[in-house]
Chain A
Amino acid sequence: KQEVTQIPAALSVPEGENLVLNCSFTDSAIYNLQWFRQDPGKGLTSLLLIQSSQREQTSGRLNASLDKSSGRSTLYIAASQPGDSATYLCAVEDDYKLSFGAGTTVTVRA
């Protein structure tokens, strides 16, 4: 069974600092990895999808890397803003379904 772990569980930074969120998974036979953002009481918003053959994806201030062989992904958020405060979830796809980590709750202080 795929196990996904996210470290740290919570993170608080001053505005402008770069964020580094880590995700690890136990079974490297994944098809893709997706990073999501969840605001309190809301659904999930897809941020980035990295296919298993890719090593990174970028969108604006967000960059995600994937090292499939070691079972790791990192999400970098540059120059954080208070609007980046949310819970960030990592999910890996195998057999069509997503297995999720518990998330990292980020607070960006103004």
Chain B
Amino acid sequence: GAGVSQSPSNKVTEKGKDVELRCDPISGHTALYWYRQSLGQGLEFLIYFQGNSAPDKSGLPSDRFSAERTGGSVSTLTIQRTQQEDSAVYLCASTLTRDRASEQYFGPGTRLTVT
């Protein structure tokens, strides 16, 4: 079946612009996660959704970052007034249930470059 998909695969934007990154989880997966992978920081957690609610936003690095999920499916990560330090690969993952035995399945990522 289809895996987690993300769009766009690459995004180049100018400093100060807003960007939206999209994630389509595996159909039927209730939990969705956003992570960021950057050269200096490795892979870090950003936000977790269970259904449409986000019980854990602790990883969002600043108030320029926000995310929403609608219909228990697609999620959008928005970065306002982008800065060069936002350049990274943004990865989305989903799991079938909240059961902690569930594997997280990752999408291919969106590579964001802020110039």
Q: Name the B residues within 8 Å of A91 (CB-CB).
A: 43
Q: List 24 A-B contacts (CB under 8 A).
A: A31-B100, A32-B100, A32-B101, A34-B104, A36-B106, A42-B109, A43-B4, A43-B108, A43-B109, A44-B106, A49-B103, A51-B101, A89-B43, A91-B43, A93-B100, A96-B48, A96-B98, A97-B33, A97-B45, A98-B33, A98-B43, A100-B42, A100-B43, A103-B42
A interface SS class: strand
Quick check: is B65 within 8 A (CB to CB) of the other chain? Answer: no
Interface residue tally of chain A, by bracket?
20 to 34
B interface SS class: strand
Instruction: Kindly state the separation between the CA atoms of A85 and B56 in the bound complex, as whole angstroms.
Output: 35
Within the complex, what minimum Cβ distance (angstroms) separates B45 from chain A?
A: 4
- In chain B, what residue has the closest Cβ to A42? B108
- In chain A, what residue has the closest Cβ to B41? A102
On whether the beta carbons of B106 and A43 are closer than 8 Å, the reply is yes
Quick check: is B59 within 8 A (CB to CB) of the other chain? Answer: yes
